[in-house]
Amino acid sequence: MRETNRCRESVWTGAYYDSIIGNLNGAWRLVDTVLTKDYGNRIGIWRTFEVIDRYRMPCTVSLNLGVYEHFPDIMQACEARKWEVLCHGIYNTDYLWGLGEPEERAFIADCVATHRRLTGRALQGWFSPAGTWTLNTPDLVAEAGIKYYCDWGFDDQPFPMTVKSGRLLAMPYSFDVNDGINFRHNVEAEEFADATIAMFDRLYAEGEEQGRVICIPVHPFILGQPHRIRHLDSILKHIAAHDRVWMATGGEIADWYIANYLPLLDRHLAELAT
């Protein structure tokens, strides 16, 4: 990927707003899970806003759309900041696993329509709820007119996926350095911050030759805790101290790639085929 205005690295920060439904009768573990996520929606998110606002960074919200329905104050805060939505389904417990193609197509169409009803905009990005993608998901997401896709975090640059119709970009997304995943394996916030900074530094160095993209996944119910929020601040402070870094949303990165690099790649692949 060529540099954008001599930019060495593109950074997109993903804030996760979770909404979970389920049968609560006697299910203490589910209650505990709901209360943990609810802390993020009621308290942690406001701390997260404060830190991200300090560095004036755009943000992409990996959103269970039910959060905007149930917490309109969060939607108003995100819309006021012009944050982009990366759809993570309606609820994080609405799994795609086991759905047939017609049912999954209807599910994605409902998400596209719900997002437009809530924001007035076209949906740009997709990340399957709880990561429960199927073999049909990329084709159906592209068919729905969505630009980029985060279920496959397999590269440090955007890359086009082969789909049955339309175009779809696989967007760099970190499953390895991810507070939501790391927290389940007893990786605390300080270690997460160290790993994120190390990842940024390595990609920034590599970006001297060719641009790189880093995604920083942030869950407000985790990093928004009072004893962890300072580590988010340390990550963003470190990044903001570097020049030639493009702070962007997932959609902005996708648009730049489609306009500037995809035609070159298409031409190169066509030449190889002849």
pLDDT of res. 24: 39
Q: Is 95 exposed, middle or buried (0-12, 13-18, 19+ CB in 10 A)?
A: middle
Where residue 23 falls (left for φ over 0; alpha for ψ -120 to 50; beta otherwise) is beta
Among the residues of 130-188, which ranges form H helices?
137-143, 179-182
Rg (CA), the chain: 18
8 and 213 Cβ atoms separated by less than 8 Å: no
Q: Domain extents for the chain? A: 9-273
| DSSP-assigned states of every residue in 123-172 | --EE--GGG---TTHHHHHHHTT--EE-S----SS-EEEP-SSS-EEEPP
CATH superfamily of 9-273: Glycoside hydrolase/deacetylase (3.20.20.370)
pLDDT of res. 242: 95
pTM: 0.89
pLDDT of res. 34: 75
pLDDT of res. 186: 77
Q: Which residues of the chain have pLDDT under 50?
A: 2-3, 20-29
| DSSP-assigned states of every residue in 173-186 | --SSS-HHHHGGGT
pLDDT of res. 37: 82
